[in-house]
Every structure is written in C-alpha cells, then in structure tokens.
Amino acid sequence: MDEAYLPLGELVPELLPEVPDLYDEEAGIGMLVTGYGVETPVELSIGVRPDGSIELGSTPPLYHVATSTLPVFHAIRMVAERTGVE
C-alpha cells in the first residue's frame, strides 16, 4: 500500500470526532450526544497481499486539481450511536 494511505480500520476512528458530555453544575443542566453521522470523500487503495487477502487503504483526497476529467472520489459514511444511555 502506498505510504500516503492508512489501513481503512485505522482511518475510520480518526475521522470520528470525540464529543464529551457537557455539564453546567451552576445552571443545573447537561448535554450528551447519543449519535451522529459523518460523510466524507476518500481515496481508496485496494490491493491483494501475497497470501491472497485483500488490503484496503484510504486517505482523504490528496489533490484537487481542476482538469477536464476529475479523479473518482469515493465517499464513506459513518454513523456512531451511543449505547447504555438512560
């Protein structure tokens, strides 16, 4: 895999923002996020390892150059839902 790419399993967690619970004790209120979705363009690198397994690499788009034929960008959508919240 090209060094500009990360394995898809490493890239996805990096794209999801951490959203902490917010509390204002003085006001007596709080907020917590129970879910959100993120969609972003990605470039993919798909290869086959010597053992026959498939290797998926991904990166945010590396270049944006105006040409008559733009490169194909893929999109990835991730949805995170919090569990165990009353």
Which uninterrupted H or E stretch holds 75? strand 74-81
CB count, 10 Å around CB of 47?
Answer: 12
Phi, psi dihedrals of residue 80, rounded to the nearest 5°: -115, 130
The pTM assigned to this predicted structure is: 0.53
Averaged pLDDT, 58-80: 74
Q: Which of 77, 80, 75 is nearest to 60 (CA)?
A: 75
Residue 68 — very low, low, confident or very high, per pLDDT cuts 50/70/90? Answer: low
**Which residues, including other chains, have CB under 8 Å from residue 71's CB and lie 6 or more apart?**
43, 63
pLDDT of residue 12: 77
Helix (H, G, I), strand (E, B) or coil at 34: coil
Averaged pLDDT, 25-35: 87
